[in-house]
Amino acid sequence: MRPALILAVASMLVAANVTIAAEDPDLDVDAYNQCLLEKMRTAADETPVSELREACLVDSRGAETKETEVADAMEEGDETTPLDKRIDETRATEQMRFVITPYKLNYLMVGYNDNPNTAPYEEAFPDEEVAFEPAEVKFQISFMFPIVQNIYRGNGDLYFAFTSRSFWQLFNEEFSAPFRETNYEPEFWFRFDTDWKILGLTNRLLTFGYNHQSNGRNRPLSRSWNRLFASFVLERGNFALGIKPWIIIGDLDDNPDIDDYLGNYELHFFYKWKRHTFSLMTRNQLQSGFETGAYQFDWSFPLYRRLRLYTQYFNGYGESLIDYDYFNNTLGVGLSFTDYF
């Protein structure tokens, strides 16, 4: 936009903000004004002003306020659930230009494992010393993007998503702080909104698609697999349950027994209590007789705006692809930038 036009539009919007602030006392007006000016400076000429205002309203209201609203609504008997709110917010960000919609958790933390797996690296580099520090930085970046929406009668969307999870030996100065492992996970899926009633729960989302996961390395460190999966997300109030079965397709030359450790299903339990979010993931326990499965427990709590204190405990096999057949017991604490709901 031209500078003169920016100033003219900004003056009108700032004046209008007095009314907005009166209607929405939780709005950080200074942050809202600054956001508007910045977006008008960088946005394309054809970008609607309403889109800029909507984006800034989302950014300028405190995370604490929004989460308190959900908790209060649940206590007052409002039928809106945390999952409803997550679905609505996801749809809103999908309509905004220059906004990336989060998919899985995005986080940064320091994890501690007193017995890191060195065997694959000793095999790959037999003439070199291999030593890992028990403490390392673990972070995950995950986003999704709608490709086609409303495929059938106003329902059904095709999505693409990408997730990257890294294990960084930041404190390993002797070996120049290497990235021990990074897993890359692109996937495509169709998602449908549903309202099926099952055992007192409501199945809200039905998903089926394709998933590839690999660590992008050469043999003998190469690990990868491909899956066709389905996903069912059920809820009742503050509780949600994710059921994700899959079928492995293609060859498994680099990890032929991966299904013995990661199985062919995953269960994810979620619970929202006031401003706290708890989750429990479990997979391959019944199939393996509780011998080669895994648990992961997450807890998060808002600190400031979008920042949340994040704690993760993992116990079992498959924390990463390089460790799919190795037992890990890891505790990590850090920050998450998105939440389950």
| Residues annotated catalytic, as ranges | 212, 214
| Cβ–Cβ < 8 Å for 293, 302 | no
b/e 153-174 (16+ beta carbons within 10 angstroms → b): eeeebebebebebbbbbeebee
Tokens of 162: 């990408």
Q: CA-CA distance, 248 to 265, in Å (whole number)? A: 11
Q: CA-CA distance, 215 to 165, in Å (whole number)? A: 10
What's the longest Cα–Cα distance across the chain?
71
Backbone angles phi, psi at 289, to 5 degrees: 65, 35
Backbone angles phi, psi at 19, to 5 degrees: -70, -40
7: Cβ contacts below 8 Å, ≥ 6 apart: none
Q: CA-CA distance, 215 to 320, in Å (whole number)? A: 9
